[in-house]
Amino acid sequence: MSDDRNVPALPPVPKPRARTNRKLLIFLFIFFIIILFILFFQSSLSRISAIEVEGNELMASEAIGQASQIAVGDRFFAFSSRSIEQRITSLPMIKSAVVKKHFPGVVHITVQEYPKVAFQIAADGKKQAVLADGAVIELPAGSSIPLDMPILTGWTDGDPNKAALCKVLGEIPESALSDISEIKPDPSEPYPDKIKLYTRSQFEVYTTIAYLPEKIDNLPAYIASLQEDHITSGVIKMLEVEYHAPFDPNEDANSETNNASGQKTGNSSASPTPDPNKAGAKPTPKATTKPSP
């Protein structure tokens, strides 16, 4: 019988170094991620490949692109959409801008211009569009944009009344202005912001910039009622109180005045309109007309 005490003891088996292997794997993973990032930012995928602009009618896409201060080839992630929007909306004729980045490399810019409210003819004869913020943009030669809005004449650059008029016109539906062909300043002592409007239906309309939004809606119906009475031209006063010369100082003494109720008088000039601040008063347009030929 052998003695167990003579059997040599086996050496202990070392445990696997699992923790050391895990750290190595994490290090290798981070290393490869860094390599991929470096390769990506060195490739064309990290650059702007196209800049798309839409929504602009009057302002050139190139001008909007220049205002954005980005260009094809710039780093795609080097700017924020918000910063580009702020740069574009700083342009005087741009009301709002939305910038979206589409990977890979496409920057899409959608702008909203201030609406056209009128046109004007420059001193050199070139046609210009007037926007609701008062900005003036020259129309390109051979432009297909129809002159379907009022034409401003007699206004000077920097006139605060012109800026106020543009703002008001931007708030009025185009349908209400469809008969207006021209707008001129016609200030008077009681009404510094008085204007004269010429209609395509051959009437002259006197009102003010402040009264225009509330009174313009009644103008088409009133002109239609005059035409039903076979009155095809004349002066319409859409004011609260006004005193000025008749439509034609040399017109025949038999000229008639037609007021909004359809009553006619022999006076050749319109009488003042009632003050709406007085009880029971209801302002109505007054027309001084010529007999139809």
pTM for this predicted structure: 0.61
Nearest to 180 by CA among 206, 221, 207, 149: 149
And the tokens for 139?
């129309």
Pairing of strands 106-113, 50-54: parallel
Q: What is the pLDDT of residue 261?
A: 32
Q: At what angle do helices 81-89 and 61-68 cross, to 10 degrees?
A: 120
Q: What is the pLDDT of residue 5?
A: 60
9 pLDDT above the threshold of 80: no
pLDDT tens readout for residues 96-151: 999 999 988 899 999 999 988 999 998 888 889 999 988 888 887 766 677 789 99
Q: How far is CA 261 from CA 186, 201, 222, 234, 284, in A?
A: 26, 20, 10, 16, 9
Taking residues 170-197, report their average pLDDT.
93
- CATH numbers and ranges of domains, the chain: 46-113 (3.10.20.310), 172-289 (no CATH)
And the tokens for 127?
């046609």
